Amino acid sequence: MVRKLGVYAVLAFVLYGLFFYWYLFHFADPKLPFEFQGTKADPATFLNGRELMLSEEYSEIRNLLFFLAEPFEWLVYFLILIFGLSNVFKRWAEDSTKYKLLHTPIYLFWLSLAAYIATLPLSYISYSLSKTYHISTQTFPSWMKDELIDFWINYGTWLVIVPVLYWLMKKSTKRWWFYGWLLSVPFTLFMMFLQPVIIDPLYNDFYPLKNKELEAKILQLADKADIPAQHVFEVDMAEKTNALNAYVTGIGSNARIVLWDTTLNRLTDEQILLIMAHEMCHYVEKHIYWGIGGYLLLSLLGLYLTYRIMNWVQNRLGKEWKTVKVGDIRSLPLFFMIVSILLFAASPLVNLASRYQETRADRYAIEMTKNPEAAITSFQELAKSGLTQVHPPLLVKIFRYTHPTMLERISMLEQYEIEHRQD
Ligand SMILES: [Zn+2]
């Protein structure tokens, strides 16, 4: 029975992978709709033949890796569960010390390590692909260091959550999901508050803008939107990537706008101001808080569904498998698997909300700077530097795109340009 289930799961994963291979490489048509051909959104007008080919090729492989990564993780947890590895980890934890308090941390360590090692090859493929296409400039030791930081932050976070969660499951078999959610509210806010000052600096260096002339222009713009100067930062990314980016992060007194140094190095001042104005919209309209609110609502639903599904699995299979008993730490792979599936299922909705905010930020930026030419060229540069697909296949857009596609973003600007030329 166990072996059969394992074979079915692997088979399902292979079929799923083949479907996406077919969808991305054969079915999806990278051609732009006719009405966009030859416009400024058409990559053929701003990429050379080689860049065009590379961006198509690179995006196709990246998209495939994206669709494989998460289901692969589900498969790993499923196999850990059905082949009794979860039992083994628990036994290792119990054999290694008589202090009961340490059993869960040790179990969690082995489980995290197993999942990490199983998914490491995919991460490495993704890194080396990005290196091959000259997007990533990161050395292997530096990449590995980031990976290890990832591992420990993940482990540390779950180390706080899991013991509490499993304690709640034992205390209240009917309401653990709700109490868990209540506790997750302050925890989430606390993590969001610490993110820019504790977690992000583990990966990169942050400092005030280096170019003082540019800083003056940026702060002038920030002033227009009532953003205090000490909330604008530059981050050292050139040693890791050729891509361009900027973002808003943190809450409360730690809220900040961060510009990658690659963006500052490679764009003109006008283009940078456009990017800055876009980020300012996120800041001013408090998109982070909307994001946190939406996330908390979804996680309430998600935890309830997890509770229902875990109970269902326990009732169906609990007799045969002690490892799916709710409240028994050995069911943790099941919990991780369900949460990961639900997150993936919710991603189209989350991305849709994000694309809505991003569209607003683009509009805000162009109305603030009133310079469509700089805006269009900066988006073209953005697409070029990251070999971004201007017009991705529909499923890619739905599951992967937190921003409108470059086709949509540049067309909007062209529209703006046309409208404002007339008056
Ligand atoms: Zn944005």
For every residue of 323-336, DSSP letters joined together read GG-TTSGGGHHHHH
Query: What is the pLDDT at residue 422?
Result: 63
- Report which of 58, 239, 236, 62 is spatially closest to residue 139, judged by C-alpha positions: 239
Q: How far apart are CA 423 and CA 412, in angstroms?
A: 18
Query: What is the pLDDT at residue 255?
Result: 87
Cα 193 to ligand 1 centre (Å):
19
- Report which of 237, 268, 270, 249 is spatially closest to residue 386, judged by C-alpha positions: 237
Mapped onto helix, strand or coil, the DSSP state of residue 156 is: helix
- Give, as one character, the DSSP assignment of residue 322: G
For every residue of 387-418, DSSP letters joined together read T--SS--HHHHHHH-SS--HHHHHHHHHHHHH
Quickly tell me which residue has 């299922």 as its tokens: 345
Q: Which of 234, 279, 358, 408 is catalytic?
A: 279
Cα 361 to ligand 1 centre (Å):
6
Q: How far apart are CA 317 and CA 315, in angstroms?
A: 6
Stretches where the chain sits below pLDDT 70 are: 422-423
End-to-end CA distance of the chain: give it in Å, rounded: 73
Cα 420 to ligand 1 centre (Å):
24
Cα 404 to ligand 1 centre (Å):
10
pLDDT tens digit sequence for 93-112: 999 888 988 999 999 999 99
The whole-angstrom distance between residue 296's C-alpha and the CA centroid of its chain comes to: 17
Q: Is-contact 314 321, C-beta < 8 A?
A: no
Quickly tell me which residue has 């979804």 as its tokens: 298
Where would I find the H helices in 195-242? 200-203, 212-224
- Report which of 248, 250, 155, 149 is spatially closest to residue 202, judged by C-alpha positions: 149
* Relative orientation angle of helices 332-369 and 406-422, to the nearest 10 degrees: 20
- Within 8 A by CB and 6+ apart from 303, the residues are 177, 178, 180, 181, 184
- The secondary structure element, H or E, covering residue 76 is helix 49-82
Cα 418 to ligand 1 centre (Å):
24
Cα 240 to ligand 1 centre (Å):
21
Quickly tell me which residue has 């499993």 as its tokens: 166
- 256-260 vs 232-235, strand pairing mode: parallel
pLDDT tens digit sequence for 15-48: 999 999 999 999 988 788 888 888 888 888 888 8
Active site residue 73: no
- Within 8 A by CB and 6+ apart from 7, the residues are none
Q: Is-contact 222 276, C-beta < 8 A?
A: yes
- 246-249 vs 256-260, strand pairing mode: antiparallel
Alpha carbon distances (Å) from 185 to 116, 179, 206, 295? 27, 10, 28, 10
Backbone angles phi, psi at 302, to 5 degrees: -60, -45
Structure-block tokens of residue 194: 């610490």
- Give, as one character, the DSSP assignment of residue 172: -
For every residue of 268-319, DSSP letters joined together read -HHHHHHHHHHHHHHHHTTHHHHHHHHHHHHHHHHHHHHHHHHHHHHHHHTT
Q: Is-contact 365 274, C-beta < 8 A?
A: yes
Cα 357 to ligand 1 centre (Å):
7
Query: What is the pLDDT at residue 423?
Result: 58
Cα 410 to ligand 1 centre (Å):
14
